[in-house]
Amino acid sequence: MKKIYFLILAFVISFANAQTEGVLVLNEGGAGSNTAEISLINNQSVVTNNYYKIKNNNAVLGDTAQDIKIFGDKIFVVLNISNQIKVINKSDFTLITTISTNLNNPRYIAFNGNKAYVTNWGSGSSTTDDYVAVFNLNNYTHETNISVGNGPEKIFSKNNKLYVLLKGGYGLNQFMDIINTTNNTVESQVNVGNSPNSIFEKDNLLYIMSSGDPYSATSFGRLTVYNTTTQSVASSTTFPVGVKPSYMDTDGTNIYYMNEASIYKTPIASPSITTSPIAVTPITVNSYGTAYGFNVVNNKIYAADPSGYVAAGKIYTYDLQGSLLNTFTVTSLPNQIIAYNSASLSTVENSKASKLSIYPNPSSNKFFVQGLNSGNVQVYDLNGRMVINTQYSENGIDVSTLSKGVYVVNITDKSNSFSEKLIIK
């Protein structure tokens, strides 16, 4: 009987300490309704809606969730109408603090060193009060504002530069502002096409997707490739008549984008405009638009359906060839999907019980794991995107194709679960 009791106790303890893995869905909620929320879809395809409320004693997340990012051991949620940023503990999903100063119509967030950078539209329909707010992540205090062009949206950080897409806010814009973080000034501006909506980086090249003017019958999408080494446009491709792509993401090898309800795919190495979609989603195309969100996470494609802006949102999941895998019901207006692993980086790094360590760190070619003979190795970038998923061997893990920056390495074998920061130099 004692043996059975201890086996049950061990199982309960193991279950309680188990990592939660899957994806987080950010649900915007209706404007002014204070119904923003987060849904968890775990790796067993089980949906838990109102995940923030469940983990925070029924507390409300806020009004109009615009952006969600994971940085280190924390989750940052930008709330547009609330003019707040909620900082959440990644391991147990409890609220750490709320940033509510020097935010005015906040939109998206990026990180560089110990700083957070948040795009803001400013007040009303003014085109001259838009800015990027800078916060110190050591104490969450505001440091300064950086004036930018009208309607700053997506923001991407690389080395000492910030690349800010100017969508136009209440109007229309077609530029990308480039900020030097050493002096917090805009040092240049690049034309990337009307209404830029998406950006990612691969091998020192930025890929920027623009939709075109939604109200013009002669303005269509554009794919701009920008070289961050030479700080110049490498190429610019205009989509054919009638194509106004709304979203873009990548799995590290291919570009995936949406036009109306269809999903398209093209190689990063030689991007081309294709007329044959790999999938057509059930999302209704009407005057309100098409999908409300689109992400490629852990080798799956996720398309978010606003369900006519009145019903519970849907998430359609596809494999990378375009076959429908699953349909999930979430809450109101899902707009982003990111990878999630509840393992606490700081807890694991400081654990004396762990006998694993990564070396060399920083690395530029490959890294090894001291104390590990075999196991699964996953490397995530700071946007939560898995960039490496492989089995460990004595030859180490090749990271020569990764861009410079900070990554998180997750290692699992039959007796270990370990996470550590990795710096690629």
**292 and 304 in contact (C-beta within 8 Å)?**
yes
Burial class (CB in 10 A: 0-12, 13-18, 19+), 58: exposed
Secondary structure string (H, E, C) spanning 148-159: CCCCEEEEEEEC
**How far are the Cα atoms of 251, 387, 410 from residue 391, in angstroms, in the given order?**
19, 14, 12
pLDDT of residue 72: 81
Please tell me whether the peptide bond between 267 and the residue prior to it is cis, using omega within 30 degrees of 0: no
Q: Measuring CA to CA, which residue among 326, 321, 259, 325 is closest to residue 294? A: 259
pLDDT tens per residue, the chain (425 residues)?
A: 444 444 433 433 343 345 788 999 999 999 999 999 999 999 999 999 999 999 999 999 999 999 999 988 899 999 999 999 999 999 999 999 999 999 999 999 999 888 999 999 998 778 889 999 999 999 999 999 999 999 999 999 988 999 999 999 888 999 999 999 999 999 999 999 999 999 999 888 999 999 999 888 889 999 999 999 999 999 999 998 889 999 999 998 999 999 999 999 999 999 988 789 999 999 998 766 689 999 999 899 999 999 988 899 999 999 999 999 999 999 999 999 999 988 755 444 433 334 578 888 889 888 888 777 777 788 888 766 778 888 787 778 989 889 888 888 888 765 556 778 899 98
DSSP state of 53: H
**Residue of 210, 219, 213 lying closest to 192 (CA atoms):** 210
Residue type, 15: F
> At residue 325, what is the residue type?
L
**179-183-186 Cα angle (round to 5):** 30
Q: Is 222 left (phi over 0), alpha (psi -120 to 50) or beta?
A: beta
- The continuous run of DSSP H or E covering 98 comes out as strand 95-99
Instruction: Supply the pLDDT for residue 223.
Output: 97
Give 193's Cβ-side CA count (13 Å radius): 29
CA 346 to chain centre: 21
Q: What is the pLDDT of residue 413?
A: 62
pTM: 0.82
The residues facing 144 across adjacent strands are: 134
Q: Given the structure tokens 């800010």, which residue do they identify?
A: 164
Residue by residue, DSSP assigns 99-138 as E-SS-SSEEEEEEETTEEEEEE--STT-SS--EEEEEETT
